[in-house]
Structures are given as C-alpha cells and as structure tokens.
Chain A
C-alpha cells in the first residue's frame, strides 16, 4: 500500500546507528567495572538489557517517538540529567480518558488485543488504538534492528 506508507512514517535509522549507540552504552557499562565480579550475572544481564533498550530508544529517534519517550522516561526515573523531554502542551489529556471509556464499545475484539499490546509496547497506556498501531510498527522495526545488532555482536565476540 504505497499511499498508506506515505502517511504512516515509520522510518528507522540504519543498523549502524543502533550499533553505535549500543556499543557506546556497553562501553559506559564497562567503565562501571561490572565485568570483574562474576557472581553478579543476573545484575549484569539486567544492566545490559536496560542498556540495550535505552540505546535502542535513543537510536530510534530519541524523544520524537512516543514509545521511545516513555522508555527513556521509565529508565531515567528520578535522575534525569541525560534526556531532555520536550514539554509539549497536551491539551487533550482529559479526552483520553473519555476515549478510553468508549473504546470498550468499539470493536471489543480489537480493543482487548490493543490492551495486550499496550502492556507490551512502552508508553502504550496513553494512546488511542490507531496511534498505538503506528507506534507498534515503529517499535517492531526498531526491535528487529536491535536484535540484529546484538546478534552480530554476540557472534563476533563468541569464542571460535
């Protein structure tokens, strides 16, 4: 659907952008001396995972996408010196709740699936279903990019 693609903009940067961000975050992790203590594997895993998500959000467009904004906000809870969030005037906040109430009537099949999606996609709680799907599409693209990058890294670093 060429015409549809023009209106839904889900451009995602190239793989190397993701790679740079991820490598940078990994190097930051390295300087925290994580890798010296072998008994904190879980902690390490969680740190790496968080680093992966944050770097993905940064690479994918920073705060210009709803899901990335929510992700970054979640990740820098309280100690936010890093990311600058644009202060958009949300004048429709009261409308969201009213839309929500009506959304239960709207094609309940779609809506319950949308609920599940909202739990998966970061920032999904405040979005209407159509907006949610746009964000999901972009999120899927970014996730697959990130997976490719990480896969390459693992392949490169694994012992031969």
Chain B
C-alpha cells in the first residue's frame, strides 16, 4: 500500500516542473510534519525497519521504515542516512538500476538510494547508532559509482533549508544524469529565478527578454541609482543652511509631500543605535522624537500655538515635543 502511494507521489513529479520547483514541492511535502516526526524518530530508533528507503518506482520490496511511529506521515522516502553513514556502510548504494537502465534507456532515470532488504542485523544496529547521531538530511542521490556519490554527497548542498540538508533532485526525462550537469541545472534555475525577481524590481524590464539584455539593464539601473545618490549629495552640500531658517515651513512641506508610513518601534531604533558612536551626545529620546516627525500629517491641530508641533502633533504633549523637535533640528543647523 505504501508502495502504491509512493509510486503515485513520485509519478506526480514527472511533470515539467523545474528541478527547483520539484525540490521545493518536495520540501513542502516534507516540512509540515518534518520536525515532529523526527523527534519521535530519533527516540524510537528501534522502529527503524532496516531501511532506507527505496525510492525506486515499482519495487515491491518497498520496506518503508515505520520511522514516524504514530504519525501518519508516510515514511519519508528520502529521509536517509547522513553522509557519514553512507560512507561507513558502503553496501548501501546498491545499484539496482543497473540492470534496468539497460532495458529501459528511454525511461526516466532516477536518482535513488536503494537499500537491499537483506541488510544484516549488525548493519541495522550500526544504522540505529548512526541515526541517533546524525542530523536530519534529505540526500541528493544518483545512480552512479559509489565513489562519485561519496565525494559528491560530501559537497555542499545546492538548495538547502538548513545548512546540512540535501535535497533530492531528479533528472528529467531525456536529460543527462551525471551529478555535475544536474547541479549545473539547479544553479542555472536558481539564477534565472533570481533574475525574474530582479525583473520585477527594475522598472522597464518586462519588455526585455534574454538574460544578457536584462542584466545590462540591471547594471544600468544600479549605476543610475548610485549616480543619483551622488548628485543628491552634491545638492545637499550646496544647500547652505542659515541660522534663521524657517524650520516649520520646511518640515511641514516635507511631511506633506512624503507620506511616510508606520513608525518603527523605539526598540528597533534604539538597537540600531546601540553600537553607534553618537558623539553628538543626544539621548535616545531625541531619536524617538525624531522619527515621530515623519508620521503622516493627520490633521493640523490648530489648538497648539507652536506651528511646528501643530504639524507633528499626534496626541503627544506639545511641550515635550517642542524641546525635542528643536533639539533635533537645531543640531542639523537647518
């Protein structure tokens, strides 16, 4: 029964989803129940049924370990032994597919880690010890030489949820299955995904197709932003503040024109300044009053006499505002 469900699930993978999407879908499939079963898993090592999981379609001898104890999550077909255990118990990497791949060349080749049913008892005990010690990992598998697989599994994973996690990648139909090309493909998909993300960010990039043009556009955009900053800093340097500057009008205008939104919490600002050498000697209250200025101007409170506090009044006591406000703006010399 388990085998049938497993086959069903695996068949669903045989779509044109990209490799990355398949990985993600797989992780999602795993993730909901991922942590809790593992807690039971490690404590219940006796439940391990000698098995890691045969992910191969169609094998009847599927001996999914009842790893998850009472949970109903089907034994994760790819919950596996960590790399160390792989190396230690070498006979795990049975190449079951060898005979089959010769027969069904055109068929989808799979990467799998298979384990024979006739694992010895001592192997099983070794397994349990190693299970207890290993971190959870989803292994990237392929049906290649043991040596390659050993060395490859030691490489850093390509797509990870945690640092030690590996994600299964399945070769698509009619494509090469060596580890390098698969890793290459994963990497390319990552890059293209990020490029799509960047495409949304950069204005005017939807018309351009092709990686090269897009990247040029992105580079131009970054350069233009940097030039803008430089230009604006030049402008700021030129604006020469006079002592009798009319602060109230300026900041009223500024607040009106820039509807800044939610005020960040004081904790965030304070923590941001915790390792900043504030040599102006202003206290944190000044800072907190500083950012409260940028609240959107709800309504002009005409009751208060001071026009500046009337702009920024949002329920605070006006007297406290004035001193803080003028402190900040006085410091700017503007």
Report A's interface with B, CB cutoff 8 A: 1, 3-5, 7-8, 10, 13-17, 19-21, 23-24, 26-28, 30-31, 35, 38, 41, 44-45, 48-49, 52-53, 58-59, 62, 81-84, 92, 95, 106-107, 109-110, 113-114, 116-117, 120-121, 129-130, 133-134, 136-137, 139-141, 143-144, 146-148, 150-159
Determine whether B287 belongs to the interface, using a CB cutoff of 8 Å to chain A. yes
Contact segment of B92-100, B208-216, B298-306: B208-216
Report B's interface with A, CB cutoff 8 A: 21, 24, 156, 184, 187-188, 190-191, 193-198, 201-202, 211-212, 215-216, 218-219, 221-223, 225-226, 228-230, 232-241, 250-251, 253-254, 257-258, 260-264, 268-269, 272-273, 275-280, 282, 287, 290-291, 294, 328, 331-334
- Pair count A-B, CB < 8 A: 196
Question: Which of B211, B240, B253, B260 is A16 in contact with, Cβ under 8 Å?
Answer: B260
Distance, CA A118 to CA B2, complexed state (A)? 50
Complex contact A19–B225 (CB within 8 A): no
Complex contact A150–B237 (CB within 8 A): no
Distance, CA A115 to CA B269, complexed state (A)? 36
Complex contact A130–B187 (CB within 8 A): yes
Complex contact B280–A133 (CB within 8 A): no
A28–chain B nearest beta-carbon distance, Å: 6
Question: Which of B187, B254, B264, B269 is A106 in contact with, Cβ under 8 Å?
Answer: B187
Known contacts being A1-B193, A8-B197, A20-B287, is A31 close to B240, with CB within 8 Å? Answer: no
Complex contact B331–A3 (CB within 8 A): no
In the complex, what residues of B have CB within 8 A of residue A157's CB? 236, 239, 241, 250, 334
A interface, by DSSP: helix, strand, loop or mixed?
Answer: helix
In the complex, what residues of B have CB within 8 A of residue A21's CB? 272
Complex contact A14–B239 (CB within 8 A): no
Distance, CA A106 to CA B190, complexed state (A)? 13
B269–chain A nearest beta-carbon distance, Å: 6
Known contacts being A27-B332, A81-B277, A106-B187, is A158 close to B198, with CB within 8 Å? Answer: no
